[in-house]
Homo-oligomer: A and B are copies of this chain.
Amino acid sequence: MAQTDGRKGEIIQMASKLFRERGYSAVSMRDLAAGIGVKAASLYNHISSKQEILSSIIISIAERFTEGMNAIVSKKVSVKNKLEEMIDHHIQVMIDNPDGIACLNNDWVHLKEPELTYFLDMRNGYEENLRKILKEGIKSKEIKQVNVEVMLFSMLSTLRTLHLLHEKKKGIKTDNLKNEVKQILLTGIMN
């Protein structure tokens, strides 16, 4: 779960915001400290390194994605239902922490072992589960006979970058966003 209270939570929140804006490597510990209103050295009373902050941000979100997906794949419902639940869950995780999502997307390359492998395993597992759902849908004719990889990629591209839309259109209600994304990803745009 996401740290939000206490100094450590404050550090992680501010780091998420700055990493989102400029990227992990372009944000210094001084920048981060200044954003909070303390000196850089003071940060080290709450965290042990810049790396640890990045890991905290990314891993907690990746675990939430993984748990949600694992709960959905094995359900005894239609493929359409599974895809809808997956999209809803993905969007909810984004809504709860858009800065962290942006950070996960852009800066996971800067994770160090063993967190890097742990993250990549979760990411691959997530993709593999979605691939399984799509293949099941093709088999049952719920889904068109198109290239699974392109289909998979297109859905994930939209979902993974949705924080950018969320940022630009702050007005849009969560339920509307979920419904509109579901409609477009599942049934396309052409009449």
- Residues of A whose CB lies within 8 Å of any CB of B are 21-26, 80, 106-107, 109-110, 134, 141-144, 146-147, 149-151, 153-155, 157-158, 160-162, 164-165, 168-169, 176-177, 180-181, 183-191
Evaluate whether A189 and B190 lie within 8 angstroms (CB atoms) in the complex, with A147-B180, A150-B181, A158-B157 already known. no
Shortest beta-carbon distance from A90 to chain B in Å: 13
Q: What 6 A-B pairs are tightest by C-beta distance, nearest first?
A: A188-B188, A25-B25, A25-B26, A150-B180, A187-B188, A153-B165
Residues B191 and A188 in contact, CB atoms below 8 Å apart: no
Which one of B107, B141, B149, B189 lies within 8 Å of A143 (CB-CB)? B189
In whole angstroms, how far apart are the Cα atoms of A186 and B23 in the complex?
33
State the copy count for this chain. Answer: 2
Residues A190 and B158 in contact, CB atoms below 8 Å apart: no
Chain B residues, Cβ within 8 Å of A158: 153-154, 157-158
Residues B21 and A144 in contact, CB atoms below 8 Å apart: no
In whole angstroms, how far apart are the Cα atoms of A165 and B91 in the complex?
22
Shortest beta-carbon distance from A72 to chain B in Å: 17
In whole angstroms, how far apart are the Cα atoms of A188 and B187 in the complex?
4
Evaluate whether A26 and B110 lie within 8 angstroms (CB atoms) in the complex, with A185-B188, A186-B189 already known. yes
Residues A150 and B164 in contact, CB atoms below 8 Å apart: no
Shortest beta-carbon distance from A104 to chain B in Å: 14
In whole angstroms, how far apart are the Cα atoms of A81 and B33 in the complex?
52
Chain B residues, Cβ within 8 Å of A106: 23, 106
